[in-house]
Structure 1
Amino acid sequence: MSRAERRRHVCIVVQNLPVPFDRRVWLECLALVDAGYAVSVVCPRGPGEPATRDLQGVHIVTYGAFPPVTRQVMFLAEYAYSILCTLLCLARVWRRAPFGTVQVCNPPDVLWVATLPFQALGARLVYDQHDLCPELYLSRFEEPARLPHRALLLAERMTYLLATQVISTNESYRRVALTRGRKRPDRVTVVRTGPDPDRLRRGEPRPELRRGFPHLLVYIGVMGPQDGVDVAIRALDHIVRVRGRSDIGMTLIGDGDAAPELRRLTTELGLDEYVQFTGRLPDEDVRQVMSTADIGLSPDPKNALNDVSTMNKTMEYMAFELPVVAFDLIETRVSAGGAAVYATPNRIEEYAGAVLDLLADDALRAEMGKIGRERVERELAWRTQVPAYVGVYDRLTRR
């Protein structure tokens, strides 16, 4: 492999989700391939997937599922396991074709450890910061311990320090990179996670998906402690028990470590007939539910993480012309604008009232859906982000 070919080989490391299931990472891969780069990916292995495969010009190297451990050592064990597996997979990629750049996508913020041998061999590090891990930790626990938080800050700081370029998902994250990360402005590029309006497009409704309810609410996304799915369930409980409505159903699409507790909460509140948990669904099934629903729910409560994070589900609702009900968070307003109504943060009864007010106004819902779709097509679509993303690598390779 020539020096020029090595410079134009990018290896992307992601631990949070398999590729192409991680939509942001997969869109980044395809953007680089379209721009003439060779792209490899190191990621966890999805169910039934091979250890290595080539998909749409991307070489994917995977590692097996994290083995079960006790909760007391879960985080440390998972970090150690992901580092070791990532290191071994990177070595496999390097033996096949050395790469000039390695992009780490957090969480976690310890993947830089696995890249050190390759940085010593000349590879440069790009930090694609999907989450603020210290804030993520604070948002998941009512009484977070100080030592783990400091360790997360240190891991983030080391990633900033080693990274030649930082990719931030929004302006709030960019400010963190400039201040806490002490990066120079020319080393930090905002690349928003934008939906694909050609793939996410409203189709014909499927009345049977309403399960007999005149109105249908939908949630899509990860179900972690910080994602507010419990808020959506409690808001529905208020609608049913206090407001006396029995004509509204809810479909929850996705999965996560909070899902078992959310199912228990639904049963405890007596809402099993109103709430459907689908788990993760194929794209076509998602399209059908989204095309049938009346409102998209973004119930993320206000905390140090959510207030400055861009919620992918909000933009997906907008792509499907669904009006959104959300809490009034900084980056949620940036994304949704007039396509959402905003409740005072963390006030469940007000959130429930916003849902009912919106269901009562067909014309307003249609107008908000139109606004959301136009924003996606003109401003938020992934294609509008590709020049900034590919530009990071063009500068690194001096194209």
Structure 2
Amino acid sequence: MHILMILEGEYKDDIRVRREAEGLVSKGHSVHVVCSRGSQSQQHESLNSVQITRIGTDSKLTWYLSKGVYLTTWYDPIWLRELHNLLHDDDYDFIYFHDVHHAKLAIRLAKWHNLRTIADLHEIYSFAVDVWQEDYSYKQKLKPGIFLRPAWRFRRMEEYVVTYTDGLVTVSEEILDYYLNKYNKRDLPAKVVRNVPDLDRLDNMPVEPLGYEDEFIISYIGGFSPQKGLEIPIKAMSLIKEKIPQVKLVLVGDGQDEYVQSLHQTALKEGVVDTVEFVGWVDFERVASFYNVSDLTIVPFVDDPESQRALPNKLFQSMAFETPVLSSNLMTMKRILNETEAGITFEHSPESFAETVVRLYNEPSQRCLMGKNGRRAVEQKYNIKKEIDNITQLFDCIEPN
């Protein structure tokens, strides 16, 4: 199969998309990724046999005009021109697009060029937008990119995607059930492709000494946003420190400046500045070092409709590194942890978080067993080599035009 894959962001930064593209290449398919071009990015590149074309413009006026059209119509004129030229110059079998940003454009181009489409929806965007916009100030809500894209527009776009795409991929069974039931498309060819790791890559990462040998390390590794619920573990640290004096919460990642500053303020207000370390963003190749020193990894997402169905990469990544997982009591993650016995959940409060951490601290053999269970589950089931088979099976279900 010759596949044109469409992605809104930068390809190199999206671990899920990279794993899928490289996994499809390993199965003998040809993959050409089209993504956004930053100011320092090459327009054309080949990475691990995946062809990459980046779309953008150096003209600020053209960029603003293009974004204005996109915000009101979901069609970006620059992307429309470049993608149309690519499809005209080469023969593709499928357009495989990620999320809803360029979904309308992808489906329209597929009709023009008589191609099939597969939509890979990483989350339920309309739910996520509801959560994100709750924390915006009135000034932020008036920005065109936010004001012109309320949650109801994302809901309409999700309905459009599920109605008109030829195949659907989601990251969890719960998200897939939501889309198929919500829009009455139970007959749509669909597969779950989870956010699971490439074990070969993780196992070959270097491990550097970080100097936490005498401390009990609770770590969070990933992006920072209100949906991630990082206030809860920060507020719990004073309670935990009473029972575990050598405890440290290590937060590896970054996010919007305002939110990160609010987390610093929470640590200051709670009197736990010396117990909470903000590492900042690190290159992906360094994450093995942080998992190596972690006694627990946490996924403290808030309880909302999107998070209830979320299945983040960090869950399986922790399991791959034999680190026990402590997650919020959310539907999908709880199902995975119960199935694999790789961790446990807590109710979303500082008191419950603290109580659960202290209990696990006092049960080192249980933590060790959880780590081994997680690693075994990733080796046997939750790895990208297994998940790529689901995509190839979906291709087999859909006849190319």
- Length-normalised TM-score, structure 2: 0.84
- Find the partner of 1:355 among 333, 340, 357: 357
Residue 79 of structure 2 is aligned to residue 86 of structure 1: yes
Unaligned 5+ segments in structure 2 are: 61-66, 142-146
Corresponding residue number in structure 2 for 1:153:
155
- Length-normalised TM-score, structure 1: 0.85
In 2, the alpha carbon distance for the partners of 1:139 and 1:373 equals: 33
In 2, the alpha carbon distance for the partners of 1:360 and 1:203 equals: 30
- The amino acid of 1:113's aligned partner reads K
1:64 positional shift: 4.9
Q: Deviations over 1:343-381 (max 9, x none)?
A: 12x222101211121122211111110111111111211
Matched-pair contact (CA < 8 Å) for 1:326–1:351: no
Residue 343 of structure 2 is aligned to residue 340 of structure 1: yes
The SS at the match of 1:209 is coil
The SS at the match of 1:41 is strand
1:245 positional shift: 4.5
Matched-pair contact (CA < 8 Å) for 1:232–1:299: yes
Matched-pair contact (CA < 8 Å) for 1:251–1:275: yes
Corresponding residue number in structure 1 for 2:331:
330
In 2, the alpha carbon distance for the partners of 1:386 and 1:335 equals: 19
Residue 288 of structure 2 is aligned to residue 297 of structure 1: no
Corresponding residue number in structure 1 for 2:64:
none
- Find the partner of 2:27 among 23, 26, 35: 35
In 1, the alpha carbon distance for the partners of 2:337 and 2:7 equals: 27
Superposition RMSD in Å: 3.1
In 2, the alpha carbon distance for the partners of 1:330 and 1:358 equals: 22
Inter-CA distance 95–268: structure 2 relative to 1 (3 Å threshold): farther
Matched-pair contact (CA < 8 Å) for 1:221–1:253: yes
The SS at the match of 2:118 is strand
Corresponding residue number in structure 2 for 1:134:
126
Please say which of residues 301-310 and 195-204 is displaced more in the overlay: 195-204
Q: Deviations over 1:78-97 (max 9, x none)?
A: 85698345334423532542
Q: Deviations over 1:125-173 (max 9, x none)?
A: 2110101011112232448999923222111111112201011222111
Matched-pair contact (CA < 8 Å) for 1:126–1:167: yes
- Find the partner of 1:105 among 76, 98, 105: 98
In 2, the alpha carbon distance for the partners of 1:307 and 1:167 equals: 18
Unaligned 5+ segments in structure 1 are: 1-7, 69-74
Corresponding residue number in structure 2 for 1:379:
381
1:177 positional shift: 2.2
In 1, the alpha carbon distance for the partners of 2:34 and 2:75 equals: 11
Corresponding residue number in structure 1 for 2:308:
307
Corresponding residue number in structure 1 for 2:288:
287
Corresponding residue number in structure 1 for 2:226:
225
Corresponding residue number in structure 1 for 2:251:
252
Please say which of residues 113-122 and 266-275 is displaced more in the overlay: 266-275
Corresponding residue number in structure 1 for 2:63:
none
Q: Deviations over 1:164-212 (max 9, x none)?
A: 10112221112112211322335122222221223224989766432x7
Identity of aligned residues (%): 22
Residue 16 of structure 2 is aligned to residue 54 of structure 1: no
In 2, the alpha carbon distance for the partners of 1:120 and 1:105 equals: 20
Please say which of residues 95-104 and 24-33 is displaced more in the overlay: 95-104
In 2, the alpha carbon distance for the partners of 1:221 and 1:67 equals: 33
Size of the alignment, in residue pairs? Answer: 379
- After TM superposition, the structure 1 = structure 2 runs for residues 68-83 of structure 1, keeping only pairs within 5 Å, are 79=71, 83=76
- The amino acid of 1:127's aligned partner reads A
Inter-CA distance 49–142: structure 2 relative to 1 (3 Å threshold): closer
- The amino acid of 2:130's aligned partner reads L
In 1, the alpha carbon distance for the partners of 2:46 and 2:167 equals: 27
In 2, the alpha carbon distance for the partners of 1:153 and 1:100 equals: 28
- Find the partner of 2:367 among 358, 365, 368: 365
Matched-pair contact (CA < 8 Å) for 2:4–2:94: yes
In 2, the alpha carbon distance for the partners of 1:79 and 1:139 equals: 20
- The amino acid of 1:276's aligned partner reads E
Corresponding residue number in structure 2 for 1:114:
105
Inter-CA distance 299–42: structure 2 relative to 1 (3 Å threshold): same
In 1, the alpha carbon distance for the partners of 2:84 and 2:150 equals: 30
Corresponding residue number in structure 1 for 2:144:
none
1:239 positional shift: 2.4
Inter-CA distance 89–97: structure 2 relative to 1 (3 Å threshold): same
Please say which of residues 254-263 and 282-291 is displaced more in the overlay: 254-263
In 2, the alpha carbon distance for the partners of 1:332 and 1:47 equals: 38
Please say which of residues 284-293 and 87-96 is displaced more in the overlay: 87-96
Matched-pair contact (CA < 8 Å) for 1:105–1:130: yes
Corresponding residue number in structure 1 for 2:174:
172
